[in-house]
Amino acid sequence: MKCVWPTIQRDNLYCLCRTLQRQFFIFYDMEKQELIPNLFRSEYQKIVSVLVRLFGIAEIETAEDIVSDTFLSATEAWSTRGLPENPTAWLYTVAKNKTKNHLKRDKLFQDKLSPEIQYLAATTEEFEIDLSSKNIGDSQLAMIFTVCNPQISLESQIALALNLLCGFGIQEIADAYLTNKEVVYKRLKRAKAKLKEVNVKIEQPGLTEISERLNTVLTTLYLLFSEGYYSTTKNSILRRDFCAEAMRLVYLLASQEQTNLPNVNALLSLMCFHVSRFDARANSDGEVILYHDQDESLWDHQMIEQGKYYLGLSARGNQLTKFHLEAAIAYWHTHKEDLPEKWLQILHLYNNLLIVEYSPIVALNRTYALAKVEGKTAAIIEAEKLNLSDNQFYYSLLGNLYTGIDNVVALDHYKQAMALANTDTDRLIITKHIQNLES
């Protein structure tokens, strides 16, 4: 695959992310309420990243307070005087002023800062906070590597990523996890405490850090994406926003020279392919529609093209990572028709994926692909060796494989899957299979 439209690609992704976020800049009074939350979300993490990089990780709450205070001023000013011509520039100016005031007034805070900044703040009349797009990009990159730190638990990394890297509020995170604000608040507080305890220096990652840590970073961003993609919340706008944010962060990595690496492009490609099916994978009631039953015309073909473009970019270097393999599997799934070549390739890719990294779900998917290539009887023999008797999907797979071969056994397997299922979505899918077999 060859890139023929590099400049359009960048704009395309930007537009698509925008659309996904439903972030419309419409200057009507009625729409103002809509504008503010989305604008704040995207600006929150930018300003926080710049301030935290300037002050150090220990002052994370101060940075967040300054930004929250800025948004409060904006809400007050804009609701009485109307929107300024350039809301973003307005926010940056106010955030800068508030930071400078805080530096001047709070002696205790000053003492905690680095001697260099103290000196600058004391001697310079106009101490500049750099909110240029270059510095924002650098700060966000530094922040990604700070948050995705292997010394912090994965759960904390994700919570921090949602909050600090994506700008999601506590309520939004709670909605996505179907939990309450208190739980999320505590989780974030613990995670931030851990971040301070580890006392990571926030700086532009060097080449050594990038090669050592990029996998952790990508894994966290992949999980962040999955939180949106597989979340059981009915709020589909929020789920889209999670996916769009995860993609934005990977895109940020891909657009910085030092992190524009094959595995980053592979992950971005994988995300594009997944997201292309977003509209097709749930009906109007939010019920999951399985791949086989999806309306292909609802797939986002522009997004599929994006995926192919990044898959092409990922085919460099000499490393075949799990993201490459997963992206290639997702690519073959953009062909709805069951061509023999499709399943041969998917089986081959799953074989390799398992060799790179075992996971029960991959083992099950591989066996499904085997059934497509070698038939159900051969796949049953392989499936029964997997021995995943505590996994509902294991029984669902066996139910599927036995359907048409021995429906009594198939039914029995689906019933076992039902007993292990723990979400309404899963139970609904299994119920349909059971009904089909009983009718």
Partner 1 sequence: MNKEAQPSPELLQNSIKAWQNWFGGIAAQNKLVRPLQRWDTAGKVVKSDKHVINGPYVEIKESIGGLILIKAESYEEAIQIAQNCPILELGGNVEVRMADNPEG
User: Taking CB under 8 A as the rule, does residue 391 contact partner 1?
Assistant: no
Give me 388's structure tokens: 């995943």
Non-local CB neighbours of 226 within 8 Å, separated by 6+ positions = none
Size of the site for partner 1 (CB under 8 A): 19
367 scored as a contact of partner 1 (CB under 8 A)? yes
Q: Does 224 bind partner 1 (CB under 8 A)?
A: no
- Length of the chain, please? 439
CB atoms within 10 A of CB 238: 16
The one segment of 74-82, 173-181, 318-326, 346-354 that binds partner 1 by CB under 8 A: 346-354
Nearer to partner 1, 130 or 384 (CB): 384
Residue 390 is a binding residue for partner 1 (CB under 8 A)? no
Q: Closer to partner 1 at the Cβ: 292 or 385? A: 385
How many CB atoms sit inside 10 A of residue 430's CB?
23
382 binds partner 1 (CB under 8 A): yes
Binding mask 148-187 for partner 1 (x = CB under 8 A): ----------------------------------------
Q: Is 355 in the site for partner 1 (CB under 8 A)?
A: yes
Interface with partner 1 includes 354 (CB under 8 A)? yes
Ramachandran class of 326: left when φ > 0, alpha when ψ lies in -120 to 50, beta otherwise? alpha
Would you count residue 69 as binding partner 1 (CB under 8 A)? Answer: no
Q: How many CA atoms lie within 13 A of 249 on its CB side?
A: 33
By CB atoms closer than 10 A (0-12, 13-18, 19+), residue 86 is: exposed
**Sequence letter at residue 431:** T
Question: Cα–Cα distance between 260 and 302 in angstroms, integer?
Answer: 22
Closest to partner 1 by CB, 255 or 351? 351
- Residue at token pair 């000013």: 77
Inter-helix orientation angle 262-275/207-230, to 10°? 10
Q: Verify binding: residue 385, partner 1, rule CB under 8 A.
A: yes
Q: Is 108 in the site for partner 1 (CB under 8 A)?
A: no
Choices 101-109, 234-242, 253-261, 363-371; region in contact with partner 1 by CB under 8 A = 363-371
Measured between alpha carbons, how far is 186 from 178 in angstroms, rounded to an integer?
A: 15
CA distance linking residue 218 with residue 206, whole number of Å = 16
Stretch that binds partner 1, among 238-246, 313-321, 361-369, 416-424 (CB under 8 A): 361-369
The distance of closest approach from Cβ of residue 388 to partner 1 in the complex, given in angstroms and rounded to an integer, is 10
Q: Which helix (H) or strand (E) holds 70?
A: helix 60-81
The residue (of 73 and 352) whose beta carbon lies closer to partner 1 is 352
How far, in Å, CA of 380 to CA of 8, rounded?
47
Q: Is 213 in the site for partner 1 (CB under 8 A)?
A: no
Chain residues binding partner 1 by CB under 8 A are 344, 347-348, 350-352, 354-355, 358, 362-363, 366-367, 370, 374, 382, 385-387
